Amino acid sequence: MKTAIYNPAPMTLGLIATLAIALFLSACAPSGALPNIAIPKSKTTAATLKSEKHMIAAANPLAADAGLEMLRSGGSAVDAAIAAQMVLGLVEPQSSGIGGGGFMLSFNSENGEIAAWDGRETAPDGATPGMFLNLDGKPKSFAAARLGGLSVGVPGLLAMLEQVHAEQGKLPWAKLFGPAIKLAENGFTVSPRLAQLIAGASALDTFTPTRNYFFHKDGTPLQAGEKLTNKKLAATYRTIAEQGAKAFYLGPIGYDIGQTVREASVNPGTITSTDMVAYRAKKRDPVCGPYRTMLVCGMGPPSSGGIATLQILGMMQEFDLQNTRPGSLQAAHLISEASKLAFADRAAYIGDPRFVPWPEGLISPDYLKARAGTINPSAASGPAAPGMPGMSSHNKYGTSDESYGISTTHLSVIDANGNAVAMTSSIESAFGSRLMVRGFLLNNQLTDFSFRPEVNGAPVANQVGPRKRPRSSMAPTLVFDADGNTIAAIGSPGGSSIIGYVAQAIVALFDWELSPGEALSMPHFLSRGGAVELEINSAAEILKKPLEDIGHEVRMKQTTSGLHFVGMKDGGLVGAADPRREGVVLGD
């Protein structure tokens, strides 16, 4: 039973009630005695939507509309997610699309199965461990590595969506492309955020197709409110709608992707048709663990998102956060300390599981309890070291650098039958590699690998290698209560900050019982292994000095979360969208 707690294969609702009860009985250590300071309650928060039947939260109103249209036509949560994703690739092209990858957590209400779908990009056969090093052996700058063909991984999103649809789709595949094709042909309005990011993106005019799409003939960037069509993407979508994902991987689209990557005028890469044909999405077991009376399930490696979130929550289980005020100094301190420990393990142990097996002890309650025991409740510790999760025959690896994203997208859906989806998808940084093919941008996901293949002579877990998937931080998450209700489908963009955003939101929703709108609007505090990061220009600034007083280094940072949440509550549904981006939540 214990193994099943943290390594469910397959995880079903049958296990959930037992887990939850066992966990609730675990003792809570008292929290330390820090000054009773907390982030003041915000006067303006995102709205919370309540509805009865079905609900979708996504990063753009047109995408949420498309998803809702599918739900209203009797589509499943998976159908709605696919339709919304196709629109996102059009209207939020900087964040995600068929030129990228993603991860999905799904709950199938028919058989109770919780599944984790891996559509992460893979490195081509031509990739090498040192490909992001300069000739002098030093890592390239991120901007230099991102641009052009070298950073492009074989896209995985479409293969994943087709695989999930074959299992959990109800509507015909072609129908799911309808809203996006119509918008691409008839035009949509450029949103303020898209316009702002076009204007601010470096090197976006490097390659002709991309320049022609995002800039006017006189070189000025598209403005918010302008109407934009994308006939090339409409044609691509039509082909894929009619012929399926094979048209993308096997046919002329795949050929064009390879050619664009190999013939890029800057940083040519190596993707070939063989790399495209070899791509496989994977259905994986989710990583699941207890939190209070709930079961939290996330995406395992190659994402670090699920494990790190479960670790933070697993450590927080040992503290009595429910009795601290929302956004308290105490909570910010404890969560930051737990995050430091989680990020130390993440750096040492997580990579593509095909190449780097991960120690499952990382999410065992005993291990997390022991790790929590090392946290001083009233003072910051120094840098955290990786733990020894019940072993270790596993290698520990050198550590690698972190990304901090303004792109990527997350959507959450629950349908009328109780099926749920949490999906985060990405082309990595805003506008990816800047290469555009047939109306869509190609990702730069390979820069999520460590640029340094070794640190102090030890190989890095997240080293580049052929057919390897780069480590991610994406954390699509499903949370279940003891009765098996999906009380949260949640996730966010934000690079390695995703982990902190999701963990904080879960604490805000369920320990502090904030409404979804309040929880998603709450100013952020997080740590990615080093300093505590507080959301700049927000009420979280009140925590700066008190955190410094107990030994933390504190940095004020602009945070770019885009949390989207849908969950069951009191027999109905509730949902909210992060006010920091352009998302909405819709339902009936």
Listed residue (154, 152, 165, 175) closest to 115, CA to CA? 165
Instruction: Encode 331-395 in three state secondary structure.
Output: HHHHHHHHHHHHHHHHHHHCCCCCCCCCCHHHHCHHHHHHHHHCCCCCCCCCCCCCCCCCCCCCC
State which of residues 76, 426, 450, 561 lies at the interface with ligand GLU (CB under 6 A).
Answer: 426
118 binds ligand GLU (CB under 6 A): no
> Which member of 179, 298, 398, 494 binds ligand GLU (CB under 6 A)?
494
Binding residue (CB under 6 A) for ligand GLU from 79, 318, 415, 428: 428
Write down how long the chain is. 588
69 lines the binding site for ligand GLU (CB under 6 A): no
DSSP string spanning 499-559?
HHHHHHHHHHHHTS---HHHHHHSPPEEESSSSEEEETTSGGGGGHHHHHHTT--EEEE--
Give the integer Cα–Cα distance in Å for 451 and 401. Answer: 8
Q: Is 408 a catalytic residue?
A: yes
Q: Of the candidates 151, 473, 485, 559, which one interacts with ligand GLU according to CB under 6 A?
A: 473
CA 145 centroid distance within chain: 22
Smallest gap from Cβ 92 to ligand GLU, in A, equals 12
User: Looking at beta carbons only, is 324 or 472 nearer to ligand GLU?
Assistant: 472
Q: Which long-range contacts (CB under 8 A, 24 or more apart) does 272-275 make?
A: 272/124, 272/125, 272/126, 274/125, 275/122, 275/124, 275/125, 275/126, 275/154
Return the range that interacts with ligand GLU (CB under 6 A); candidates 59-67, 130-138, 319-327, 467-475. Answer: 467-475
263 three-class SS = coil
Residue 454: CB atoms within 10 A of its CB come to 14
| Whole-number Å distance between alpha carbons of 99 and 444 | 10
* Residue 375 or 503 with smaller CB distance to ligand GLU: 503
Rounded CA separation 495/493 (Å): 6
Q: Report the residue number, 121 or 518, with the smaller CB distance to ligand GLU.
A: 121
Dihedral angle sign, alpha carbons of residues 456, 310, 507, 426: positive
Site size for ligand GLU (CB under 6 A):
15
**215 versus 404: smaller Cβ distance to ligand GLU:** 404
Q: Smallest gap, in angstroms, from Cβ of residue 153 to ligand GLU?
A: 10
Q: Return the residue of 472, 485, 527, 538 that touches ligand GLU, per CB under 6 A.
A: 472
Q: In what order do the strands lie in the sheet with 287-291?
A: 49-51, 572-577, 564-569, 486-491, 477-480, 294-298, 287-291
Residue 559 interacts with ligand GLU (CB under 6 A)? no
Q: What are phi and psi of 56, to 5 degrees?
A: -140, 140
Q: Mark the segment that binds ligand GLU (CB under 6 A) among 36-44, 335-343, 488-496, 563-571.
A: 488-496
> What is the nearest approach in angstroms of ligand GLU to the Cβ of residue 9?
24
Residues 173-202, interacting with ligand GLU (CB under 6 A): none
Tell me which residue of 325, 346, 267 sits closest to 530, measured CA to CA.
Answer: 346
Q: Which of 124, 269, 361, 493 binds ligand GLU (CB under 6 A)?
A: 493
Separation between Cα atoms, residue 490 and residue 499, nearest integer Å: 11
Q: Site for ligand GLU (CB under 6 A): which residue of 408, 477, 521, 538?
A: 408
From 83-91, 166-174, 434-442, 472-480, span contacting ligand GLU (CB under 6 A)? 472-480
Least Å distance between CB 29 and ligand GLU?
A: 32
- When asked if residue 339 is in the footprint of ligand GLU (CB under 6 A), the reply is no
Instruction: Verify binding: residue 405, ligand GLU, rule CB under 6 A.
Output: yes
CB 193, min distance to ligand GLU, A: 14
Q: Which is nearer to ligand GLU, 23 or 474 (CB)?
A: 474
Residue 444 C-beta: closest distance to ligand GLU, Å: 9
- The stretch near ligand GLU (CB under 6 A) out of 13-21, 326-334, 466-474, 521-529 is 466-474
C-beta of 15 vs 435, nearer to ligand GLU = 435
Report the residue number, 148 or 290, with the smaller CB distance to ligand GLU: 148
> Of 168 and 412, which has the nearer Cβ to ligand GLU?
412
Which among 98, 86, 89, 245 is positioned nearest to 176, based on CA atoms?
86
When the beta carbons of 165 and 469 are compared against ligand GLU, the nearer one is 469
- CA dist 89 and 98 (Å) reads 7
**124: preceding bond cis by omega (within 30 degrees):** no
Rule CB under 6 A: say whether 448 interacts with ligand GLU: yes
DSSP 177: G
Q: How far is CA 478 from the centre of its chain?
A: 13
Q: Which is nearer to ligand GLU, 101 or 326 (CB)?
A: 101
Whether cis (ω within 30° of 0) applies to the bond prior to 459 is no
* Position 474 contacts ligand GLU (CB under 6 A): yes
Which CB sits closer to ligand GLU, 302 or 587?
302
**d(C-alpha 133, C-alpha 385), whole Å:** 27
Q: Quick one: which segment of 170-178, 383-391, 460-468, 487-495 binds ligand GLU (CB under 6 A)?
A: 487-495
The one catalytic residue among 270, 408, 447, 560: 408
Q: Is 407 in the site for ligand GLU (CB under 6 A)?
A: yes
Residue 66 carries which side chain, given as an amino acid letter? A
Q: CB burial class (10 A; 0-12, 13-18, 19+) of residue 135?
A: exposed
Q: Which listed range, 335-343, 403-411, 449-457, 458-466, lies at the site for ligand GLU (CB under 6 A)?
A: 403-411
- Residue 8 as a binder of ligand GLU (CB under 6 A): the answer is no
Residue pair 471/352 in contact (Cβ under 8 Å)? The answer is yes
Position of minimal CB gap to ligand GLU: 405
Of 229-237, 376-384, 492-500, 509-517, which segment contacts ligand GLU by CB under 6 A? 492-500
- Min separation Cβ 352 and ligand GLU, Å: 13
Q: Tell me if 568 sits within 8 A of 487, measured CB to CB.
A: yes
Smallest separation (angstroms) from ligand GLU to the CB of 61:
21
Give residues in contact with ligand GLU (CB under 6 A).
403, 405, 407-408, 426, 428, 445, 448, 472-474, 493-495, 498
Q: Which residues are marked as active site?
A: 408
